[in-house]
Structure 1
Amino acid sequence: MATRNILLRGGDARDIAAIETLMAQAFDPRFGEAWNRGQTLGVMAMPGVRLMLAYVDDIPVGFAMTRTVIDEAELLLLAVVPATRRAGIATALLRSVEADGRDAGVRQLHLEVRAGNEAVKLYARAGFAKVGERRNYYRGADMQAHDAHTYLKMLA
């Protein structure tokens, strides 16, 4: 999908309905990656959490959520609806996360991703390096366990 214009804007708890819809579309329940409303709102209320939403033609198509503590940040969630993938939306969100981190003095950006997730290619292209593994971290709707891989990118 070629997009004409990706608009990024900061968000907050008032965007919970959009976030829930995006997660339902972006995360396959077989893998247990999506958060429920309580988890999402609980994390959003924590200090240092930032939400960035992506829009195409005034329609929310993705988001990124990060948490910064002193000089480290973690990309908690990055989601793009399947119909708009491979159009630069995830890259735009990731670049925004990195720019915000640099502006805030973040030196290290961490993330975790399910083993086998196609997003690993995005993170590798962006300069993230695999630094660890969490065995059986995710539990899907069928209770099958899936490993998570942890990645790191130095920003400073």
Structure 2
Amino acid sequence: MASLSLTLRPGDARDAGAAEQVMAAAFDPQWGEAWTRAQLLGVMAMPGVRLLIAEAPGDAGGDAGGEPVGFALTRSILDEAELLLLGVAPDHRRRGIASALVRAVMADCAAAGVTVLHLEVRSNNPAILFYTAHGFAKCGERRHYYRGQDGQLYDAHTYRRAIG
């Protein structure tokens, strides 16, 4: 697919619905990994949490903003941060949106003095290839952390990447 003109902007509580909508489309319901709006708002109220929204251009002539097509949610504490959620709407994947979001998150982290970015992912999640391609290295594992709808247990893998 072709690349997409994209706007990245900081989000706030008014964008929780947009993030929730992207998650509903992007996260496979068999894993139960999508957060509810209440969960998003609860975490977003905490210190050090940032929401980044990726928007595709809106309709020509319309005065509304762009269409939310992706987001990243991070939490920073001192010189470390965690990428809590990253999602891109399925019909906008493979256009560089996730990569743009990760690069922006890393730039924000660097500007805030963060030296390490962490994340956690289910062991069979294909996103592992994406994260390793962006410099994340596995640093830990939580056995049987995730449960699929069929009851099967999956490990959680933790990854980290130096910033700067």
Q: What is the TM-score when the length of structure 1 is the normalising length?
A: 0.94
Contact 1:109 1:152 in 2 (8 A): yes
Amino acid at match of 1:124: T
Deviation by residue 1:56-82 (Cα, 9 ceiling, x = unmatched): 122111000000000000000000111
Q: Which residue of 1 aligns with 2:37?
A: 37
Q: Which has the higher contact order (CA 8 A, sep 6+)?
A: 1
Q: How does 1:64-75 map to 2 (within 5 A)?
A: 64-75=72-83
Q: Which residue of 2 aligns with 1:25?
A: 25
- Secondary structure at 1:30's aligned position in 2? helix
Measure the CA separation in 2 of the matches of 1:139 and 1:36. 18
Deviation by residue 1:106-150 (Cα, 9 ceiling, x = unmatched): 011000111121211111111110011112222344554332110
Structure 1 outlier segments of 4+, above 6 Å? none
Contact 2:52 2:71 in 1 (8 A): yes
Measure the CA separation in 1 of the matches of 2:30 and 2:39. 18
Structure 2: any 5+ residue segments left out of the alignment? 58-65
Structure 1: any 5+ residue segments left out of the alignment? none
Amino acid at match of 2:82: E
- Secondary structure at 2:29's aligned position in 1? coil
Q: Which residue of 1 aligns with 2:108?
A: 100
RMSD of equivalent CA atoms: 1.3
State, as a whole percentage, how many aligned pairs show the same letter. Answer: 60
Aligned pair count reads 156
Q: Which residue of 2 aligns with 1:136?
A: 144
TM superposition shift of 1:35: 1.0
Amino acid at match of 1:152: R
Q: What is the TM-score when the length of structure 2 is the normalising length?
A: 0.90
